[in-house]
Amino acid sequence: MRTIQFREAVAEAMSEEMRTDDSIYLMGEEVAEYNGAYKASKGMLDEFGADRVIDTPIAELGFAGIGVGSAMGGNRPIIEFMTFNFALVGIDQIINNAAKMRQMSGGQLNIPIVFRGPTASAGQLAATHSQAFESWFANCPGLKVVVPSNVYDAKGLLKTAIRDDDPVIFMESEQMYGDKGEVPEGEYTIPLGVADIKREGTDVTIVSFGKIIKEAYVAADELAEEGISCEVIDLRTIRPMDSAAIITSVKKTNRLVILEEAWPFGNVSTEIVYQVQAQAFDYLDAPIQKINTADTPAPYSPVLLEEWLPNKNDVIKAVKKVMYK
């Protein structure tokens, strides 16, 4: 095993796949000459050249459309958004073309494209740069949505996403690019749609994904000191969602807390709540608790931002609520 940074895992995944398939290329703002806005494509221009690592103007609608068109023509593009906040400029291409072309062409055209970049908050970046759109994209049939929470998953899931014949939304975090973790020396992939039980437990299930799951780990450690055993599940893939893993866990623990860095109305947590009450209602010993950001745009003030974001204390409070403690 090797210890590398999250950004290096992303670069390795893309580079390894590009070495085996000449139809794969990377396109986005500052991905080439600058080595990526977060250095997640460092060294790739030198290795693959300007034909396959392509800097673009600040025009997300344009280069998202170029990516979709080239995928229709047989290429396998990776389109990087500097953040997914900027993907809103190109969302027409993602939703109305990438996600629908296979059906609208009667199966004649696959769209093997990956849209990737940072999601959710990254410190004091204020309202228009701190948004989580996982549930927006997951709501659209035809798209797969992946949100890794660690270095190992980032590399394995991204390689799988690049090989997929359908469009994949691959959402990272600016605050995780410097995270370090172990990856194998050799080749490995992780299948989409398979959750990971990060911690076995018996008293309550905590489901989360992305960088906010770190708060669940801290909370679970502190709760263990009080004799409360938490099972922590990392979804990894939002769509397709591994509902079976959640249901199996809830049938064991009989309690569920969901932690998600997103606004509270109509999000990923909401879908999980529906699936559990539909498939495991009789196993629940307490109402499901879901933890989200405050129902406002993200504030700039550090004091307000701390209140806006979910944290370990919110998780501990929710767990104790379902435990009736």
Q: Per the residue annotation, which of 8, 29, 129, 271 is the catalytic one?
A: 129
List all residues 6 or more positions away from 67 whose beta carbon is below 8 Å from its beta carbon: 27, 77, 79, 93, 113, 115
Region label for 108, one of left (φ > 0), alpha (ψ between -120 and 50) or beta (otherwise):
alpha
Contact 170, 114 (CB under 8 A): yes
Please state, in angstroms and rounded to a whole number, the distance separating the CA atoms of residues 157 and 162. 9
Strands of the sheet with 289-291, listed across from one edge: 196-199, 230-234, 204-208, 256-259, 289-291
Q: How many Å apart are CA 202 and CA 268, to the nearest integer?
A: 24
**Contact predicate 269/301, CB 8 Å:** no
Q: Is-contact 271 277, C-beta < 8 A? A: no
Please confirm, yes or no, whether 129 is among the known catalytic residues: yes
Q: How far apart are CA 164 and CA 162, in angstroms?
A: 6
Measure CA 147 to chain center.
Answer: 1
Q: CA 231, 234, 239, 244 torsion: positive or negative?
A: negative
- Find residue 144's DSSP bridge partners: 168
Question: Distance (Å, rounded) from C-alpha 237 to C-alpha 246?
Answer: 13
Which of 8, 17, 29, 60 is the catalytic position? Answer: 60
Shortest CA distance to 98 belongs to which of 65, 75, 60, 73?
Answer: 65
Strands 196-199, 230-234: pairing is: antiparallel
**Catalytic machinery residues:** 60, 129
